[in-house]
C-alpha cells in the first residue's frame, strides 16, 4: 500500500486545506479534472479560514478587488444554493464618526457605483433602521453596502469538502508538504511526510507557509503573517443582521448564524509574531464596541483567539502561475480577505490550470510578477 | 411516550447519531468533529462533551489521537464582558484589582 501511495500520480496537488484549497478542489473536480489531491498538514480550515469572521463584501477601494468580489458574490449565491450551506446577503454598515470620514466614504461610494456596486452613504439617524439597538450618538453617518453578506466558515468549507470528495477529489489531512520537487524547470511532485507524491501541477494555497514552500524552489513571494485578534460572545436571539464596521477603529462586529456576536478590532502587532492571546485585546475590542452597543457589556464572552492576516505589500493576493517554474501556481496573501474571495479565486485558478488563462482580466493583474515589474495595486479598506 | 434521545453535547444538542454520521462523512479528528457538529462550542466549552465524545468514538472503533484535544480558548467559561472590559481601568499600578 505504501508503494502504491508513492507511485500514485496526480494531475493537481493543492498544498493547503483551507477555504481556498478546498474550494479549488471542488471547482477542479466539477470541471472534470481527475486525480486532484489536497494536502493539509493539520486539519481542514486550521490555518486562517476557521479564525475568520465570515464577512463577504465587494466594497473595497481598488478596482481589482471590487470587480473580483462582485464575481465572487455571484458564486457565493450559486454555491450556497447548490450545496445548501448558510449564506446571507445581510449587508455591511460602515460607521462614520467624523465629517471627514463621511466625505471620504461618499467618494468611495461614487467609485463603487461606477463599477456597478450599489453602496450609498446614509445619515446618522437612518443607521438605527439598519442596525437596531445602536447608540448613534456621535455618529455622522454610514456607508451601506447592501450586496455584502456573511457565511459560516465551518459550514462553507465542510460543504465544499464533502462535495469535492463526492466528485472524486482526495484529501490527506495531518500530512504536510515538506518540499516542492522540480526537475528541469518543471514541477514534478511534492515531498510529504508520507513520501513523495508525483503530479503535473502544484497549487500553493498554504497561507503563512506559502513563502517557505516557494522559497524552496527559488521563488520569493512577499508574504508576511500579521496576528489579528477576535472574540465571540455566547449566542443570543437576533439583534442586527449586517456586519458593522467602525471605520476609524478598523473594527468589526457581526452576529453569526448561531447568534453569537463576533468582534474584532485593530491592535498593534508585529509582522511574523507568533499567535498568542493578550489581556489587553478584550478590553480594547469591548471599549470600541460598547460605545455603539452598551448592552454588549452584559453579554458573556465565550472564546477569544487569534489568527493571521497573510499580507502582501499592496494588500492584494498573489494569484496564478509563478513563471520561474512551470506548473506551479499560487493563491495566497489575501490580507484578511481569503474567505470571501475563495469562490472567485477557485474559479480563476481552475481556468488557469485547465485553459491556461483566467476569464476575468482583473485576475491577471494579481500575478506574482507585478512586484518585480513595480505594478503594485492599492487597497485601503482593510478591517480588523 | 416519546422517543428518548441521548445528547453527547447538551449545549449544542448533538446526538450520538450525529457523531456516527460525521464519522461516516470522514471527520475523524476532534478539532474537525467539534466544528462539524459544534460539540464543545457552547457555554461548557467542551468540558463535559469532549471526554464523552472520545469514549463514543472509541466505542465506534474510530482510531483517534486522544492526546490531540481541541485547543482550549480563554476565558475557559463564559465571563461577563464588563469584567474583561475593565482590564486597563480596573488594575492599579501595584497590581490591585
Indicate whether A321 belongs to any domain: yes
Checking if the pLDDT of A4 tops 50, the result is no
Chain A contacts in chain B segment 13-42 (CB below 8 A)? 25-26, 29, 31-32, 35-36, 38, 42
Q: d(Cα A332, Cα A203) in Å, to the nearest integer?
A: 10
With CA atoms as reference, the chain B residue closest to A153 would be B35
The pLDDT of residue B1 is 58
**Mean pLDDT of the A122-139 span:** 95
**B87 touching chain A per CB within 8 A:** yes
> Which of B32, B38, B81 lies closest to A296 in CB terms?
B81
Residue B95: how many CA atoms within 13 Å on its side-chain side? 0
Q: What is the DSSP secondary-structure string of B23-61?
A: HHHT--SHHHHHHHH-TT-STTTTTTHHHHHHHHHHHTT
Q: d(Cα A218, Cα A333) in Å, to the nearest integer?
A: 18
Q: Which three cell numbers stand for residue A258?
A: 448561531
Residues of A in contact with B88 (CB under 8 A): 280, 283
Question: What is the Cα Rg of chain A in Å?
Answer: 21
**A294 touching chain B per CB within 8 A:** no
The pLDDT of residue B68 is 83
Q: Which three cell numbers stand for residue A193?
A: 511526510
Checking if the pLDDT of A269 tops 90, the result is yes
CA-based nearest residue to A232, from A252, A218, A213: A252
DSSP helix/strand/coil, A212: helix
Backbone angles phi, psi at A33, to 5 degrees: -80, 125
With CA atoms as reference, the chain A residue closest to B32 would be A43
**A371 touching chain B per CB within 8 A:** no
**A162 touching chain B per CB within 8 A:** yes
Q: Which three cell numbers stand for residue A353?
A: 490550470
**B84 touching chain A per CB within 8 A:** yes
At B96, the pLDDT band (50, 70, 90 cuts) reads very low
* A233 & A293 share domain: yes
Residue A261's CATH number: 3.30.9.10
Neighbours of B80 (CB within 10 A): 12
Indicate whether A142 belongs to any domain: yes
* A295 & A233 share domain: yes
At A25, the pLDDT band (50, 70, 90 cuts) reads very high
In order of A143, A289, A364, the CA distances from A294 in angstroms are 22, 8, 46
Q: d(Cα A284, Cα A204) in Å, to the nearest integer?
A: 35
* A26 & A8 share domain: yes
**pTM of structure:** 0.95
Domain boundaries, chain B: 7-90
At A317, the pLDDT band (50, 70, 90 cuts) reads very high
* A214 & A240 share domain: no
**B79 touching chain A per CB within 8 A:** yes
Checking if the pLDDT of B91 tops 60, the result is no
Per-residue pLDDT tens over the stretch A51-90? 999 999 999 999 999 999 999 999 999 999 999 999 999 9
Angle, vertex CA A275, rays to CA A272 and CA A278, nearest 5: 120
Q: d(Cα A17, Cα A207) in Å, to the nearest integer?
A: 10
* CATH code of the domain made up of B7-90: 1.10.10
Size of interface A-B (CB pairs under 8 A): 75
**A174 touching chain B per CB within 8 A:** yes
Does a cis peptide bond (omega within 30 degrees of 0) precede residue B75?
yes
* A135 & A233 share domain: yes
Residue A338 belongs to what H/E stretch? helix A338-355
What mean pLDDT is reported for chain A? 96
**Mean pLDDT of the A274-281 span:** 95
Checking if the pLDDT of B34 tops 70, the result is yes
Residue A208's CATH number: 3.50.50.60
Strand partners, A328: A202
Checking if the pLDDT of A324 tops 80, the result is yes
> Which of B42, B75, B86 lies closest to A301 in CB terms?
B75
* A134 & A236 share domain: yes
Residues of B in contact with A304 (CB under 8 A): 73-75
The count of domains in chain A is 2
Contact of A91 with A130, CB cutoff 8 Å: yes
Chosen domain end from A278, A307, A336: A307
DSSP helix/strand/coil, A186: strand
Q: Is the ipTM of this complex over 0.95?
A: no
Indicate whether A10 belongs to any domain: yes
CA-based nearest residue to A57, from A136, A146, A122, A133: A146
Q: What is the DSSP secondary-structure string of A10-54?
A: EEEEEE--SHHHHHHHHHHHHTT--SEEEEESSSTTTTTGGGS--
Neighbours of A200 (CB within 10 A): 17
Chosen domain end from A264, A285, A307: A307
Per-residue pLDDT tens over the stretch A163-199? 999 999 999 999 999 999 999 999 999 999 999 999 9
**A165 touching chain B per CB within 8 A:** yes
* A176 & A300 share domain: no
Boundaries of domain holding A358: 2-50+154-223+314-372
Q: d(Cα B28, Cα B32) in Å, to the nearest integer?
A: 7
**A303 touching chain B per CB within 8 A:** yes
Contact of A207 with A213, CB cutoff 8 Å: no
> Which of B35, B78, B86 lies closest to A50 in CB terms?
B35
Per-residue pLDDT tens over the stretch A339-348? 999 999 999 9
* A300 & A236 share domain: yes
Q: d(Cα A281, Cα A299) in Å, to the nearest integer?
A: 17
* A159 & A303 share domain: no
Contact of A244 with A253, CB cutoff 8 Å: yes
With CA atoms as reference, the chain B residue closest to A263 would be B81
Amino acid at each position: 500500500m505504501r508503494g502504491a501511495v508513492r507511485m500514485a500520480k496526480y494531475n493537481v496537488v493543492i498544498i493547503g486545506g483551507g477555504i481556498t484549497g478546498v474550494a479549488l478542489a471542488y471547482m477542479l473536480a466539477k470541471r472534470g479534472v481527475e486525480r486532484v489531491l489536497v494536502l493539509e498538514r493539520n486539519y481542514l480550515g486550521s490555518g486562517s479560514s476557521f479564525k475568520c469572521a465570515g464577512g463577504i463584501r465587494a466594497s473595497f477601494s481598488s478596482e481589482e478587488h471590487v470587480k473580483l468580489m462582485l464575481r465572487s458574490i455571484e458564486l457565493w449565491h450559486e454555491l450556497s444554493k447548490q450545496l445548501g450551506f448558510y449564506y446571507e446577503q445581510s449587508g455591511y454598515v460602515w460607521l462614520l464618526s467624523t465629517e471627514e470620514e463621511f466625505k471620504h466614504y461618499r467618494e468611495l461610494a461614487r467609485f463603487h457605483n461606477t463599477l456597478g456596486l450599489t453602496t450609498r452613504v446614509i445619515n446618522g439617524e437612518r443607521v438605527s433602521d439598519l442596525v437596531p439597538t445602536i447608540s448613534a450618538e456621535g455618529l455622522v453617518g454610514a456607508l451601506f453596502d447592501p450586496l455584502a453578506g456573511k457565511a459560516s466558515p465551518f459550514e462553507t468549507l465542510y460543504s465544499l469538502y464533502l462535495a469535492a470528495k463526492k466528485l472524486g477529489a482526495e484529501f490527506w489531512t495531518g500530512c504536510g508538504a515538506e518540499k516542492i520537487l522540480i526537475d528541469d524547470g518543471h514541477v514534478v511532485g511534492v515531498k510529504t511526510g508520507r513520501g513523495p507524491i508525483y503530479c503535473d501541477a502544484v497549487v500553493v494555497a498554504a497561507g503563512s507557509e506559502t513563502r517557505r514552500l516557494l522559497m524552496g524552489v527559488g521563488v520569493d513571494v512577499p508574504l508576511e503573517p500579521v496576528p489579528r485578534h477576535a472574540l465571540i460572545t455566547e449566542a443570543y436571539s437576533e439583534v442586527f443582521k449586517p456586519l458593522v464596521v467602525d471605520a476609524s477603529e478598523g473594527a468589526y462586529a457581526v452576529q453569526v448564524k448561531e447568534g453569537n456576536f463576533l468582534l474584532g478590532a485593530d491592535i498593534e502587532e508585529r509582522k511574523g509574531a507568533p499567535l498568542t492571546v493578550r489581556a489587553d485585546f478584550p478590553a480594547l475590542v469591548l471599549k470600541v464596541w460598547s460605545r455603539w452597543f452598551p448592552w454588549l457589556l452584559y453579554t458573556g464572552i465565550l472564546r477569544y483567539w487569534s489568527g493571521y492576516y497573510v499580507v502582501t505589500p499592496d494588500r492584494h493576493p498573489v494569484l496564478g502561475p509563478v513563471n520561474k517554474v512551470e506548473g506551479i501556481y499560487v493563491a495566497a496573501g489575501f490580507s484578511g480577505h481569503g474567505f470571501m474571495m475563495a469562490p472567485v479565486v477557485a474559479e480563476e485558478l481552475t481556468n488557469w490550470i485547465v485553459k491556461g488563462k483566467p476569464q476575468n482580466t482583473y485576475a491577471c493583474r494579481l500575478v506574482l510578477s507585478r512586484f518585480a515589474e513595480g505594478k503594485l495595486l492599492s487597497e485601503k479598506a482593510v478591517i480588523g | 411516550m416519546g422517543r428518548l434521545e441521548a445528547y453527547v453535547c447538551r449545549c449544542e444538542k448533538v446526538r450520538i447519531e450525529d457523531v456516527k454520521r460525521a464519522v461516516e462523512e470522514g471527520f475523524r479528528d476532534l478539532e474537525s468533529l467539534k466544528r462539524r457538529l459544534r460539540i464543545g462550542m457552547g457555554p461548557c466549552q467542551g468540558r463535559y462533551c469532549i471526554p464523552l465524545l472520545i469514549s463514543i468514538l472509541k466505542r465506534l472503533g474510530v482510531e483517534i489521537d486522544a492526546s490531540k484535544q481541541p485547543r482550549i480558548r480563554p476565558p475557559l467559561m463564559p465571563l461577563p464582558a464588563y469584567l474583561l472590559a475593565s482590564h486597563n481601568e480596573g488594575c492599579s499600578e501595584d497590581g490591585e484589582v
